[in-house]
């Protein structure tokens, strides 16, 4: 298993450099953290594969909100984002249908 650590910004690009360090994990964690024995294909062009991720955060007044991010895995750009205090399955379905109509569909 590897750990990616951000180091101070590079003076030329103002972007952080990343060091990859090997770290030891217990065998029971290593097996579940990697890919469950599957090989993951790396996309070679835009719109081959999108990934979705749900996130949650809290405002300073204590009110929680949720965010659904859809990202193009090759470009690493945001394809779409849905923000709401509660996201239902119906909202997710409608949102993904809108993305399919407005963007090129992923092949996977």
Task: Please write the tens of the pLDDT for every residue from 63-90.
Answer: 999 999 999 999 999 999 999 999 999 9
pTM of the model: 0.61
CA distance 89 to 108: 21
Q: Output the CA–CA distances (angstroms, integers) from residue 9 to 5, 20, 34, 99, in the order listed.
A: 12, 16, 29, 35
CA distance 13 to 7: 13
Per-residue pLDDT, 14: 52
Helices marked H in the chain = 27-33, 89-102
- The answer, yes or no, to whether residue 104 has pLDDT greater than 50, is yes
Per-residue pLDDT, 2: 44
Task: Please write the tens of the pLDDT for every residue from 21-77.
Answer: 455 555 554 444 445 556 677 889 998 889 999 999 999 999 999 999 999 999 999
């Amino acid at each position: 298993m590897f750990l990616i650590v951000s180091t101070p910004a590079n003076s030329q690009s103002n972007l952080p450099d990343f060091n990859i360090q090997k770290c030891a994990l217990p065998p029971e964690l290593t097996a579940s953290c990697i890919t469950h024995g599957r090989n993951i294909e790396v996309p070679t062009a835009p719109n081959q594969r999108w990934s979705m991720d749900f996130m949650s955060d809290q405002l300073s007044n204590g009110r929680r909100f949720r965010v659904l991010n859809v990202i193009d895995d090759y470009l690493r750009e945001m394809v779409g984002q849905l923000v709401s205090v509660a996201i239902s399955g119906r909202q997710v379905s409608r949102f993904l249908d809108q993305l399919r109509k407005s963007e090129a569909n992923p092949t996977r």
